Structures are given as structure tokens and as C-alpha cells.
Amino acid sequence: MLSENVSTNTQAGIIAQFDEFFVETGKVELSTSFKEFAYQLNENEPSEAFANKYLNDAHLFLKRVDAYRTKEVQDV
């Protein structure tokens, strides 16, 4: 968010702004909104299956964000 000169104050604000500046613009491609991804922790019962799926999704998210950031730094 700082690379986009976006002021961040709260966790909910960061989540909403990430969707606005990165997901909705297509800079970072996700299969769902970042809000849905982040808040699925609140909507699912704790289980090994959910934990494994969430961890795999988190690795994929990190890979996509890292690829975006690497490209941005190289283009500067």
C-alpha cells in the first residue's frame, strides 16, 4: 500500500484499500476479493482441512503479490 502512496490506518481499511488499488484494477489477480480471502478465518470452523486450504491460498497470494512487486521494482 505504501508503494501506491495510500495511507493505511486500520486492518479493515487496509483490506478494503487492497481490493480497490490492487484486485479491482487487475494488478493482483485473485480468485475472490481480498476481503473474502482475509475474512474466511471468521467464517469457517477450525479444522485441519480448512487450515491446509488457507495455508495453500496464502502461499498463492504471496506468490502473486511478490511477482507484482518484483515487476514494479524492476520497471522503475
Q: What pLDDT shows up at residue 53?
A: 93
Asked if the model's pLDDT at residue 72 lies above 80, the reply is yes
pLDDT digits (tens, 9 = 90+) for 14-42: 899 999 999 999 999 998 999 999 999 89
Q: Which residues of 33-57 are buried (b: 16+ CB within 10 A; e: fewer)?
A: ebeebbeeeeeeeeeeeeeeeeeee
Domain count, the chain: 1
Range of the domain at 69: 2-75
Report residue 2's pLDDT band, with 50, 70 and 90 as the boundaries: low
Q: What pLDDT shows up at residue 61?
A: 93
Report residue 1's pLDDT band, with 50, 70 and 90 as the boundaries: low
